[in-house]
Structure 1
Amino acid sequence: MKKLTLIVVAVLISFITYAQQSIQVEKRGNGPAVLFLPGFTCPGEIWDETVDALGSNFQYHQVSYAGFNGIDPIDMPWYETIKRDLKEYITKQKPGKAIIIGHSMGGMLAMDIAAESPELVEKLILVDALPCIRQLMMPHVKADDITYDNPYNQRMLAMNEEEFHQNARYMASSMTNQSEKVDQLTAWIEAADRKTYTYGYTDLLKVDLREEIAGITAETLILAADFPTKEAVSENLNNQFAKLNHKEIKIAEGSKHFIMFDQKDWLIKQVTAFLQ
């Protein structure tokens, strides 16, 4: 019985869930802290295969966001609240300077935190993330012109379940080449709180870090998918990351947005080499 109790305690110590207003964090392992930030609608578990491949050399902090994967939603502004709580979490954990690995929106948060509080971040790995997605999607629109109450958001909130399912499946299938992953991505989108899904993305469209990234002191690895073409991606990356110092850019061939699915071995190889 005593031996069983010790085993249970050891498991609890190695795998702890932390909950704050806008984030939940699953922590495991020992060593230098690595914070994994997922993209929009995705839970922290999307990084499970990457964490398993990296082994036992680090302490892993896998973050999930309010409004997604069954976590209670929060009021708007959503993005700024998450950023604030992440900074508070890193400070309270006192891991020294953290390593942050962020995909898509997670990469935006990583850049934002590293620019505002460079003393908190040692290294950054940005996986198919940009300082300003608005520039890519609607280059002539200003942040101040984007509001929560707009026709697109109204249509999104008014969709019935079947309409939203079809929209989610279309989005999921456009972001990975791995057909077996589409169902999971679709399910994560459908599990999202509808207002968080709608208004949270509005928050992301307003973020522009192209100037702020000049304040990042952390060594940064940028990993990008070559979709739609390597040439177009390279040009966009060079433009958006022009102000970022200490950066290295690598492009995954034959990949869409979810590089951890489409080029998993390549991603792990790049991350492992950079962390060593």
Structure 2
Amino acid sequence: MKKYIILIIVFLFSALCLNVFGQTKHFPFEVLKTGNGNRSIIFIPGFASSGDVWNETKATFESDFTCYTLTMAGFAGRKAQPNASFENWKNGIANYIKENNIEKPILVGHSMGGGLALAIAADYPDLISKIVVVDAIPCLAALNDSTFISKENNDCSATVNQMTGMTNDQFYDMQKKTMPRLLADASKLDMVVDWSVKSDRTTFGQMYCDFFNIDLREKIEQIKCPALILLESYFINLKPAIEGQYKNLKTANFQYAATGLHFIMYDDTAWYMGQLNNFIKS
């Protein structure tokens, strides 16, 4: 009997050690892995969006590629994590690629996800084979302020306090008014608003502030891989400013949608899918 008690104690101690020391590393996102191709695509959604924004896109590629669809921590109902920042999320995605031995994936990022794709390809140029940037630019703040200089120690507490201080109704109303400026397809509006409403307010405020402080205009010079830059139709009016921001990205291929707003995958679907197919499958 004593022998069995000792065995049980040893088993429980081993289980405790495995639980404490052998835990799976936490990344700042959830991952949905689908498809079983030899090549891989990592889909990075935009600000406060769910990975579901890529559902129709990835369905086209799952027969030929292994797809990793991310939803960032704190967005669209996912559990928040401390220390959310653009830098931490960038490094988290790169570490996920390395630790899971994903060989030369293609990154497809929308909005802030496009910014993350640019930053990863710049800081880890040998890790990535191609990037697709869907309606994102290297420095969002500089589009309205040509003199913009990124702050070294950016204090986001005021933005966080503003977002967390709103009532649920106030926050919902803000998102309901904002989203039609970003999405023309009315059938998708409620879904996209719901992603924002379900997002953690602290993460929302922190990342909103942090992303507006990001300036990748110089950094993108380090990108080696081919880059497809898909831009909403309105940006054709700002072509010199947009492409001026990208002047250091020598591999850039610029394409402008004919119609629609920021969520190009919903507003100009046929054109968008044609561009992706030509670039990714080539």
What corresponds to 2:32 in structure 1? 26
- 1:172 and 1:38 map into 2 onto residues whose CA distance is 16
What corresponds to 2:156 in structure 1? 148
- 1:271 and 1:249 map into 2 onto residues whose CA distance is 12
What corresponds to 2:194 in structure 1? 187
How many angstroms does 1:147 deviate by?
2.0
Matched, 1:256 2:265: no
- 1:19 and 1:179 map into 2 onto residues whose CA distance is 39
- The question of whether the paired residues in 2 share the 8 Å contact of 1:38 and 1:104 is answered with yes
TM-score, length-normalised on structure 1?
Answer: 0.88
The one-letter code matched in structure 2 to 1:52 is: A
Instruction: Point out the more displaced range, 22-31 or 254-263.
Output: 22-31
The one-letter code matched in structure 2 to 1:29 is: G
What corresponds to 1:274 in structure 2? 279
TM-score, length-normalised on structure 2?
Answer: 0.86
1:210-249 alignment, distance < 5 Å: 210-227=217-234, 230-232=236-238, 234-249=239-254
What corresponds to 2:48 in structure 1? 41
Matched, 1:97 2:104: yes
How many angstroms does 1:55 deviate by?
4.5
1:80-229 alignment, distance < 5 Å: 80-144=87-151, 146-150=154-158, 152-227=159-234
Cα deviation code 1:18-65 (max 9, x no counterpart): 983311111111220100000001111110101112340111010110
How many angstroms does 1:156 deviate by?
2.6
Cα deviation code 1:90-138 (max 9, x no counterpart): 1122222110000011111111111011110100110001111111244
Task: Give RMSD over aligned pairs.
Answer: 1.7
Unaligned runs of 5+ in 2: 1-23
The one-letter code matched in structure 2 to 1:33 is: S
- 1:252 and 1:158 map into 2 onto residues whose CA distance is 38
- The question of whether the paired residues in 2 share the 8 Å contact of 1:77 and 1:203 is answered with no
Residues 138 and 149 (structure 1 numbering): CA distance in 2 closer, same or farther, change over 3 Å?
farther
- The question of whether the paired residues in 2 share the 8 Å contact of 1:21 and 1:74 is answered with no
The size of the alignment, in residue pairs, is 256
How many angstroms does 1:68 deviate by?
1.1
SS of residue paired to 1:121? coil
- 1:263 and 1:240 map into 2 onto residues whose CA distance is 24
Whose radius of gyration is greater, 1 or 2? 2
- 2:224 and 2:165 map into 1 onto residues whose CA distance is 44
The one-letter code matched in structure 2 to 1:110 is: A
How many angstroms does 1:140 deviate by?
4.0
- Identity over aligned pairs, percent: 30
SS of residue paired to 1:69? coil
- 1:215 and 1:230 map into 2 onto residues whose CA distance is 26
SS of residue paired to 2:130? strand
SS of residue paired to 1:269? helix
